[in-house]
Structure 1
Amino acid sequence: MKNYVIIGAGLTGLSLAKKLVDSGESSVLVLEKSRGLGGRMATRRTLETRFDHGAQFYRLKTDSKIMHQFWLQNNDSHQWFISPAGDHWCAKEGMTSLAKKIAKGLDFSLEKQIQSIVKTDECWLLTSDKGEKWEAKNVILTAPLPQALLLLDKSEINYSAELKKIHYTKALIGLITLKSSIEISQYGYREFNQGDFFSLADQSSKGVSNLPALTLTMSPAFSEKYFDETDESIVLSSMLKSFKVLYPECEVVGSELKKWRYCQSLNSYEKSFLEVQKNFFLAGDAFGGSSLLGALRSSQALADFLIT
C-alpha cells in the first residue's frame, strides 16, 4: 500500500510528489495515462527540430522561485525575453525537459488509465483499464477538472456542484517549419486580442529549434469551430490561410496539428485544493489558477497541508 497515489504527471502532480518526497515521505506513486510526462508542458520532437506545443514559458514571480531555482541550478532553463508582462523563461530542450527534471528520482508509471476508485475499510483501491490495482491511504487527482469529475462520477464519489461550473477552453495548435526565419516581434513571441490566433511563438528564438519553426496557438473561437473536424488537412489549411494574411511572404515547408481539449480553465475554484472525501483530494490549475504558476501554487498549498 502507498501512502500517496497521485493521478496525473503534469506540473501539479510532479511538483506535489517532489515536495512530499523532499520532506521525507518515501511512499509516493505518480500514475499517468499518457506515454510521457509533463501534461501541457509538452514538446514535440522530430528528426530535424523541436516544438513546444503547450506552455511556451513560465513567468518569474515570487510563487515560482522554488522551481525556477531548481531548474536554473540544473542548467535546464534560460531567460527568453523581458517584456512589460514580466520576465519570461523557457527550457533549452523544450518544456517537457523541465517536467522530466522534476520527475527524476520519483516513483512514477506511465500509460496507466484509472477507471475506478473505491473506498474500502482501510484504504482507497484504484483500478486501471487493464485491471491493474493499487492501494493508497491518500489519493490526489490532478487531471484537468472535467476529466477528474468524469472519474469521480464513474467511481460514485460525491463532490460539490460548484465544480461543474468550472470550464476550459479548447486549443488547436499548428506546428510549422519555415523555409527562412521571420521576425514575429522583438521578443520572438506575439499574443493577439482578436482574430484567429491566440499566440505565435518562435521556437528558434527560444533556442528549442535549430530550424525556423513556429508554434501557432489558435484562438478559443477558432479552436471551438474546428476542434471536432476529422480531416486535419482542412484545419491546417485554414490555419495557414490566416497565417498568410499576417505574413504573406513567408514560405511554410512543413506543418502538423496538435489539440488540447482542456487548454486553460476559464475560472477557478475558490480554494487552492479540495478534499472531496477524507484522504481524497483534487488539485491543479482549476484551483490555483489557469497557468503553470497556478498549477504550481495548487500543488505547493496541498503539499504544505499534507506535510503539516
Structure 2
Amino acid sequence: MRRVGIVGTGMTGLTAAAELQKAGIEVFLLDKSKSVGGRMATRRVGDGRADYGAQFFTVRSDEFQQDVNKWIGDKEVKKWFGDHHPRYQSINGMNALAKYLAKDLCVYVNRKVQTIDFQNGRYQLYTEENEIFEATDIIFTPPSPQVIEILNNSKLQADQSILKTLKFSPCLVAIVELYKEVPYGDHGQLTNPSSTIQRIVNHQQKGISKTSVFSVYMNKDWSEKHFDEHENELLWAIKNEIKEWIGANHIKSIQLKKWRYAEVKRVLHQPFAEIMPSLLVAGDAFLRGEDVTNHSRLESAYLSGKSAAAELMGKNI
C-alpha cells in the first residue's frame, strides 16, 4: 500500500499533499515547527499581527490562478495592490492561508526529522522526538542545506550533487510595534527605502492588524554581514537603520526573526530532483522549464509541489 511522507509544510508540501490525497493516496506531513506554513509566517504582537516571511504572492500561470480564484471565493485571499501581476495577500495573515490549505491533511508538527533509512521496500523517517514514520515515497521540501544535513546523518547513498548547486541568502527581519500609526503610501509598503533595508510593511494599512505593527526586512548584504551577531546587538543596529523611516520614539517593542535560507540566489530549472528512487526534493528553488522569471517565489513553490505529486502519481507535466 502506497504511503507518501512529506517533510515540510510550506506551500510546496501542502500543495503536493493535497494533490496526492485527491488521487486517493495516503499521505502525511512532518514539520519541525509548531505550526504549518514555513515562510508563510504570521506572528501576533499585542493586539496586532504581522506577516514576517512572505508578504504577498503574484500569479503568472493559469494553473496557479485557478486555485487562487478558489481561495478568493472562500474569502481567504484578496488583491492587495498592483494591476500588472497583482499582489495577493492572505486576508488574516499568510499563516492563515497555510492553515486553510492544511485543514484536511494529516499533519504532524513539532517533528524534526534527523535521519532517513530504507529497509524492506519502505523509507523510515526518524525524528528528534524518537518517533519513526514509514513511507513508500518521500518528498523533501525544506531548503537544500537542511535536506543535505539529514542525508549526511543517514546511511542512504543519495546523490546530493544537484542539491549542492543551490545557493541561499539569509534575511534578518524586525517585527516592530509602534505607539502611533505611521502611514506609508496607498498600500503600506516601502521597497528598498535605503541601502540596507529591503522592505518595510505596515500591517495596519495592509489590513491584517488592528494596531500599528511593521515588518522590516534588512537586505541580503546587511543580513549576511550581521547574521551571527547577538540578538540585542542586532536589534540596536536595526533600530539605528530604521529610525529615519519609523522614528525611534515611536517604537513600543521590537522582535527579531532570523531566516537563514530566506532567498534563493541560484535556482534550478527543473521542478524537482529525484535523488533516490521515489525520494524527491522540491521547493520554491525548483522552477519548471517554461518559467522565465529565474527567481523563486510562492508560485514556484506551488508548481514544484504539483509536479512532484504528479511524478509520484506516474504522470508527466
**TM-score, structure 2 as length reference:** 0.91
Q: Give the 3-state SS of the residue equivalent to 2:301 in structure 1.
A: helix
Structure 1 residue 304 displacement after superposition: 2.1
Gaps of 5+ in 2: 288-294
CA distance in 1, matches of 2:128, 2:160: 26
Report the 3-state secondary structure (helix = DSSP H, G, I; strand = E; otherwise coil) of the residue aligned with 2:121: coil
Q: Distance in 1 between matches of 2:306 and 2:193?
A: 32
Q: What are the Cα deviations for residues 73-94 of structure 1, in whole angstroms up to 9, with x where unaligned?
A: 221111111155x301111211
Displacement, 1:13?
0.5
Q: How far does residue 250 in structure 1 lie from its aligned partner after superposition?
A: 6.5
What are the within-5 Å matches in structure 2 for residues 219-258 of structure 1? 219-230=219-230, 232-248=231-247, 251-258=250-257
Q: What SS class does the counterpart of residue 18 from structure 1 fall into?
A: helix
| Residue in 2 that maps onto 1:129 | 128
Matched residue, 1:74:
74
Residue type matched to 1:92 in 2?
A: I
Q: Any idea what SS the aligned residue of 1:290 has? A: coil
Amino acid at match of 2:177: T
Most deviating of 8-17 and 190-199: 190-199
Aligned-pair CA distance for 1:104: 0.9
Give the Cα–Cα distance (whole angstroms) in 2 for the partners of residues 127 and 247 of structure 1: 46
Partners of 2:245 and 2:45 in 1: how far apart? 26
Q: Match for residue 283 of structure 2? A: 284
Instruction: Report the equivalent of 1:116.
Output: 115
Query: Aligned pair count?
Result: 305
The answer for the alignment partner of 1:216 in structure 2 is 216
Cα pair distance change 1:219/1:83, threshold 3 Å: farther
The 5-angstrom pairing of residues 1-308 of structure 1 reads 3-25=3-25, 27-62=26-61, 63-82=63-82, 86-157=85-156, 158-192=158-192, 195-230=195-230, 232-248=231-247, 251-288=250-287, 289-307=295-313, 308=315
Q: Is the 8 A contact 1:172 1:217 kept in 2?
A: yes
Q: Distance between the aligned counterparts of 1:247 and 1:102, measured in 2?
A: 35
Q: Which amino acid aligns with 1:135?
A: E
Identity %: 29
Residue 121 of structure 1, CA deviation: 2.8
Separation (CA, whole Å) in 1 of partners of 2:52 and 2:275: 32
The Cα of 1:134 is off from its aligned counterpart by 1.6
Q: How far apart, in 1, do the equivalents of 2:258 and 2:67 lie?
A: 27
Q: State how far apart, in whole Å, the 2-side matches of 1:255 and 1:245 are.
A: 16
